[in-house]
Amino acid sequence: MTHESSAYTVQNVHKAFKIIDFLTESPDDSSLQALASKVQMTRNKTYRILATLCEDGLVEKNMPTGNYRLGFSSFSMAQKLIRNSNVISLAHPIIEQLAKKHGEAFYMAVIRGDEVLFLDMADCNQQIKAVSLIGKKFPYFTNAAGKVLKALESAEVIEWLTTRKYGRNKNIKDPELLASELRVIRSNGGMAVDTDGLGEGIISVAVAVKDYAGQVIGAITMLGPSFRFVKERIENEIIPSLREGAALASQKFGYVPAETQLAS
């Protein structure tokens, strides 16, 4: 390696850290132009650094706007310094209780780029169950957790679906139908049911978890085989229990419902 190439590599790493530092302090998503100006590089070179950071999950691109924000891997790395992620440490006791109550597998899922990451799990003792999904990622429109997280992320996501062409995207067969489903999820406060998205005969049910600012930080998800997840059980047992668990988890993250704020 020549001295020139070595200096160039170090310079790119330095610029990458400046981008991450800027995104850490920025309250909103940042445009490519803003980031290029901040690190004093051309848009093309800045884009290449961002593409690398996105590939590693350190930065995420907001597809509807084209802007950038910190990725979950950045938060994960930071939280390892304080032993673990609050998403896991605060939510795990709740999903563990739910798993014991219902005898099914429960997960805490979060958005990571264009995918849903199944971050934590409380398993069950059922003889017939889905394989463990902990640590695995799936396109967010293929499962209940992803639909909940994206539906509540921004109304722009729904508008984006109806104005884009998805002929080559096998995960979005009918954008209009999906947009309608996301509208329903937004209207019901962040609850979704999905069939076959995570595998044939697998049903997933998810409810959003919010933080002190009202931002959706994850989704508690229950999944299992369709023969155990009959409609009556989903409506009368699973959904009410998931809503209760998600409300308790949200409370741990400092979330106060609007009606409670008004009452006080």
For 85-144, write each residue's pLDDT tens digit: 577 788 899 999 999 999 999 999 998 877 899 988 998 888 888 788 888 889 988 999
Mean pLDDT, all residues of the chain? 84
- The residue-averaged pLDDT of 65-79 equals 77
Q: Are residues 31 and 150 in the same domain?
A: no
Quote the DSSP letter at residue 234.
Answer: I
Q: Are residues 64 and 8 in the same domain?
A: yes
Q: Are residues 207 and 235 in the same domain?
A: yes
**CATH number of domain containing 52:** 1.10.10.10
d(CA 100, CA 66): 42
* 262 domain-assigned: no
Contact present, 131 and 124 (Cβ < 8 Å):
no
The boundaries of the domain holding residue 44 are: 3-77
Domain final residue pick, 53, 77, 101 = 77
Domain final residue pick, 25, 43, 77 = 77
d(CA 178, CA 165): 13
| Structural domain count of the chain | 2
* 125 domain-assigned: yes
Percentage of the chain modeled with pLDDT above 90: 45
Q: Are residues 100 and 206 in the same domain?
A: yes
Band (pLDDT 50/70/90 cuts) for residue 73 is: confident
What pLDDT shows up at residue 4?
46
Most confident of 71-75, 165-169, 197-201: 197-201
d(CA 160, CA 255): 28
What pLDDT shows up at residue 9?
54
* 264 domain-assigned: no
What pLDDT shows up at residue 68?
93
* 263 domain-assigned: no
Contacting residues for 230 by C-beta, under 8 A, at least 6 apart? none
Residue 174 in this model has a pLDDT that exceeds 70: yes
d(CA 232, CA 239): 10
- pLDDT tens digit string along 189-214? 899 999 999 999 999 999 999 988 88
What pLDDT shows up at residue 204?
95
**CATH number of domain containing 228:** 3.30.450.40
Domain final residue pick, 58, 77, 96 = 77
